[in-house]
Chains A and B, each alone.
Chain A
Amino acid sequence: MTNATLKRLSLVIGAPVLALVTAFLITSLVLAVAGDSVSGVWGQILSLPTPRGYVNIINSATVYYLSAVAVAIGFRMNLFNIGVDGQYRIASFVAAIVAGEAWLPGYLNTVFAVLAAMLVGAAWAGIAGILRVTRGVSEVISTIMLNAIATVVVAYFLRKAAVEHKGSNTIATKEIPEGSRVPGFTWSEDVPAKIYGFVLVAILVGILYWVIINKTRFGFDLRATGLSETAAVASGIDVKRMVLVSMLLSGAIAGLVGMPLLFGNDYSYGSTFQSGLGFAGIAIALLGRNHPVGIALGALLFAFLDEQSNPLQILLDVSPDIVKITQGVIVLTVVIAYEVVRRNGIRLEQRSVANALEDEAPKEEVKA
C-alpha cells in the first residue's frame, strides 16, 4: 500500500512536470520554425528576475490567484464560470466610483468599496446562476454573453462617470483619495515599486477557500454535487440552491480580482484598466487542479513567464506573446496529463484492493 501511495504521489507530481516539459518543447519548436533564437529566448525567460521583477511577479500572481480561485469555486461544482472576466471588470468599475466618491472616510471607504465590488461581482454572476436554475440555460453560454454585456455597460457608464485627468487623453473615474488607498510592502530599498497590500487578502481568500471546501458541510455538498449530481440529489442536496450559491460565491471572489490594481496601483478605473484576467484565471485553476496551493503555484508560474518575457522584444526582437503559446500548451497538456494520472490512479487502487483481498480470501471463505 505504501508502495502504491508512493507511486501515486510520483504520478501526481509527474503530471505538471510532464506538461511543463511538453510546453517547453513545443514553444522551442515554434521559435525554431520562426527562425528565432531558441537558446536566447529560454536564456532570458529562465534567468533570475530583476529585483523589480520579483515585485511584479508577486503582484500579478496576486491578481491571477484571486481570479483562479473564483473560477475554481465553479469548477468544484462542475460549473464553468467563464464570466469572471466580465464580473471583475464591472465590479472594479463600481468599486472605483464608490471609492472615488468617498462617502466614507479613510479605510471605511476602502472596505465599503470592496464590499460593493463583491456584491456587484456576485450579482453579475448571479444572473447566470438564476438563468441556469430557472430556465436551464448553460452557464457557459450565459457568462460569455454577460462578459460582452459587461464590456459595453462599463464603456457606456464610464463615459458618463469619467472626469478630466490632467495631461492624459484616457478617460477614467475620479481618483481614490490618498487616505483610502491600500499601502504596499517594500521588497528592497532599491526598488520603488511596492508589493500590493492585497496580497494578504489573496492569502486569506486561499485559506478560506480551503477551509470551506474541505472542512465544512457546505463544502462537502458542493464537492458532492460536482462529483455526481445524481448522487447529490439522492443524498438530499438541493442542487439548484447549490448552483446559485456557488455562482454567487464565485462572482463575489471575482469581484475582488480588480481590487489590488484599483487600490494599489491605478487608483481609478479607466479605459486602460487591465482586462483578460478572468481568462488567465481559468487556465491557472486548471493548472492548479482547483487546489489552493496548486493555484498559487500556477499563478506564480504564469506571472513569472509574463514578467520574464517582457524584455524579449527589446533584447531579441521576439514578441513576448511567445509565452502565451507556452501558457496555452501548459494548460492543454496538463489537462491531458491529469486525466492520465487519474486513470492510472484508479487502476493502481483497484489493483491494490484486489491484492489486499487476495491475501485475505482463504480466511474469509472458511467464515462464509
Chain B
Amino acid sequence: MTASQTTEVVVRLRDIGKTFPGVIANHDVNIDVKSGTVHAIVGENGAGKSTLMKILYGVQKPDSGTIEIHGNQVSLGSPADAIKAGVGMVFQHFMLADNLTVLENVVLGAEKRHGIGGAARDEIKRLSQAYGLDIDPDVRVEELGVGARQRIEILKVLYRGASIIILDEPTAVLVPQEVDELFGNLRELKAEGLAVIFISHKLDEVLSVADEVTVIRRGATIDTVDASSVDARQLAEMMVGSELPNPSTSESTVTDQAVLEVRDLHLDGAGRALLDDIAFTIHKGEILGIAGVEGNGQAELVEAIMGMRPAATGTVTVNGRELGDSSTRKRRESGIAYIPADRHRHGLLLDSPLWENRILGHQTREPNVNGPFIDRKMARKDTERILEEYDVRTPGIDVLARALSGGNQQKFIIGREMSDTPDLLIAGHPTRGVDVGAQSAIWGHIKRARAEGLAVLLISADLDELIGLSDTIRVILRGKLVGEFDPATVTPKQLGSAMTGASE
C-alpha cells in the first residue's frame, strides 16, 4: 500500500468552515491529502462530505479557513479555477451527452487543450492506455454501460490535466463486479502519482481501496487514520459516534396466509415491456425484497400494484380480493400502505405543514376527516402522535415538510403509513438518503410491523438492507423476475451477478 513515488501533501485544508441556514455546516475541517494515495472521506449522509468537496471543487466558497494545493494557497471561485489548480471532480450523476461519441464528450469544453480531432484522439488513447481505462474514443456513449461511463468521467478529468481527482460516491451506481474494476483503475491512478479523494459511506469498499481515511461527523473532521489500522466497525463507530444499527431480522414470522398475490403482471413500454410476466406472493409476516439495478422495472412494479399504471395487465390480489382496475385511493383504503421511492415527489407536499401532510393519502379516513370536511383538530392531534411514536425531530406540526431533514421526513412518512395498521406495505428505498440513526429506526419499525403480521414488498438498492430485512429476495432484470435467493445464504456478489444478468 505504500506509494511508489515520494509522497508530498498536495491538498491541505485548514480550519474550513461553511454555514448554511438549517443545514449541517462544515467547521474545523482539517485534511491533508498526499500524492500517490487514495484518500477516503467517510461520514453519514448529511455529515458535510458533499459540501466539503464542493468547496474544494470551487462550487462553493468557504466562510473561513484556507485551501493549499501543491503548496500554494488558492482561492477557488469556480470549478474553472479548481481545474486550473489541478483539481477534478467526478460527480455521482454523470454529465455525458448520450448521442455524442466518447471523444466528443471528452473534448467538450476543453477544445483548447488538444483540439477536437486527431491530437485529442491520441491523447485519449494515451490516457486510456496509461491508466488502464480501456476506452475507445469513437464509440457513442449511449452504447456504453454504467462502469464505462464512469471511466469516461475519470478520463475527462485527467484530460483536463487534473492531478487530484475527487470521486463522489462512485460506487453507488455500480454493481459489485464493476466496483472491483473501478478500484483497479484507482490503483493505477495512484501508482502514477495522482491523488484520489474518494467519498463514500460504504466502509468495506473504503477499506479495500483507501490508504488513508478521514472521518467526518456533524460537519467536522473527527480523525484521519491509516486504512490498514482500522476495521469497518471502528470506522462506523467514529462516523456515528455511537452503537451501530443492524438490519437483520430475528426469526421468521412468515405465515402461510397470502396477503399479496401478483399474477401475469405485464406493462408495455416504448419498444420493450417494462414489466413482463411478473408473479409472486407475499404472506402475512413476510418481507419480500426486490433487488435490481435501478430502472429495471421497480418503479413500474410498485406503481402497477398501487393502481397508478392503468395500462398494466394481469391480476393483483390483496387478502383474496382482486383489485381489478380499482383506483389508487380504493387500494390505499383497502389496507395498502405506500412509502414512495421518491419522497419529495410522491410522498410529501413539501410546502405544506406536517399536519396537512398527515392527511395526504388518507384524505378519506379518520381521524382526518369528518364527512366532507377536514377534521383539523383531530388531524393535528394525530400528527402529534406520529411525531412522538416515530421520533420525528421537529419543533412542531406547523413546520413545513421541506424544512425537515430527509431522515425525519421519512420517519414521518412511515408513521403516517402505519397509522391504519395496514395489511400490506409497499416500500421503495425506505432508507435512501437518511442518516444512520433514522435508518436503524426505520428498520426497527418495519421489523416490528412484520412481527405483527404485516406483509412487505421491499424495493431497495442497498443490498445489505435487502439481505438483512428480507425473508425472500427476488431479482428484477429488464422487467422480469429472474432469480430467487435465500437471504440467509446469498452474498452481495451473487445478487450483483443476477442483477446484471451475468449469471444467465
Contacts and interface: CB of A to CB of B under 8 A. Distances in A.
Interface in B330-348: 330-333, 338, 340, 342, 345-348
Interface string A52-75: 000000000000000000000000
Interface in A202-243: 215-221, 223-224, 227-228, 230-231, 233-238
B394 interface: yes
Contact of A346 (B242, B360, B403): B403
A346 to B, nearest CB: 6
B345 A220 contact: no
B173 interface: no
A349 to B, nearest CB: 4
Contact of B22 (A215, A217, A347, A365): A347
Contact of B359 (A220, A230, A360): A220
B364 interface: yes
B306 A217 contact: no
A353 interface: yes
A351 interface: yes
B352 interface: yes
Contacts of B395: 1, 352-353, 356-357
Interface string B362-388: 111000010011101000000000000
A39 interface: no
Contact of A220 (B306, B338, B342, B356): B356
Contacts of A163: none
A368 B403 contact: no
A234 B403 contact: no
Nearest to A366: B242
Interface in A297-312: none
A348 B346 CA distance: 25
B328 interface: yes
A18 B68 CA distance: 45
B65 interface: no
Contacts of A235: 328-329, 332, 360-363
Interface residues of A, number: 36
A224 B394 contact: no
A234 B327 CA distance: 11
Nearest to A353: B403
A3 to B, nearest CB: 13
B374 A349 contact: no
Contact of A349 (B332, B364, B400): B400
B269 interface: no
A353 B328 contact: no
B184 interface: no
Given A236-B329, A237-B329, A368 B372 contact: no
Interface centre among A238, A346, A350, A351 (most CB of B within 10 A): A350
B298 to A, nearest CB: 15
Contacts of B331: 236
Contact of A236 (B21, B342, B348, B361): B361
Contact of B393 (A230, A238, A357): A357
Interface string A339-366: 0001000111111111011001000110
A215 B347 contact: no
A220 B352 CA distance: 11
Nearest to A230: B345
Nearest to A354: B22
Given A234-B346, A235-B360, A227 B400 contact: no
Contact of A350 (B22, B332, B364): B22
Interface in A233-273: 233-238
Interface string B393-418: 11110011011100000000000000
A221 B21 CA distance: 32
A134 to B, nearest CB: 14
B51 to A, nearest CB: 15
A353 B356 contact: no
B412 to A, nearest CB: 13
B393 A227 contact: no
Interface in B53-95: none
B262 interface: no
Nearest to A5: B398
A339 to B, nearest CB: 12
A353 B399 contact: yes
A217 B373 contact: yes
A350 B23 contact: yes
Contacts of B330: 236
Nearest to A349: B403
B328 A234 contact: yes
Contact of A224 (B23, B349, B373): B349
Given A1-B395, A347-B21, A354-B21, A224 B345 contact: no
B437 interface: yes
Contacts of A348: 21
B399 A217 contact: no
A217 B364 contact: yes
B179 interface: no
A82 B374 CA distance: 30
A357 B396 CA distance: 11
A78 to B, nearest CB: 12
B403 A238 contact: no
Contacts of B394: 353, 356-357
Interface in B2-28: 21-23
B351 interface: yes
Contacts of B340: 234
Contacts of A224: 349, 352, 360, 363
Nearest to A360: B393
A352 B395 CA distance: 8
Contact of B327 (A1, A238, A353, A357): A238
Given A227-B349, A236-B363, A220 B327 contact: no
B308 interface: yes
Contacts of A356: 394-395
Given A351-B22, A354-B21, A233 B349 contact: no
Given A234-B308, A234-B338, A353-B399, A227 B352 contact: yes
A2 to B, nearest CB: 12
A217 B374 contact: yes
A221 B352 contact: no
B369 A231 contact: no
A10 to B, nearest CB: 18
A233 B400 CA distance: 20
A353 B332 contact: no
Interface of B: 21-23, 241-243, 306, 308, 327-333, 338, 340, 342, 345-352, 356, 359-364, 369, 372-374, 376, 393-396, 399-400, 402-404, 437
Closest CB pairs A-B (n = 10): A350-B22, A236-B329, A356-B395, A235-B361, A234-B346, A236-B328, A351-B21, A349-B403, A230-B345, A354-B22
Given A1-B396, A224-B349, A236-B329, 11 more contacts: A224-B360, A234-B338, A235-B332, A236-B332, A237-B329, A237-B363, A342-B351, A346-B402, A349-B22, A349-B402, A368-B242
24 contacts: A1-B395, A1-B396, A215-B374, A217-B363, A217-B374, A218-B372, A220-B359, A224-B352, A224-B360, A231-B360, A234-B328, A234-B338, A235-B328, A235-B363, A236-B328, A236-B363, A350-B22, A350-B403, A352-B403, A353-B394, A356-B394, A356-B395, A357-B394, A360-B393
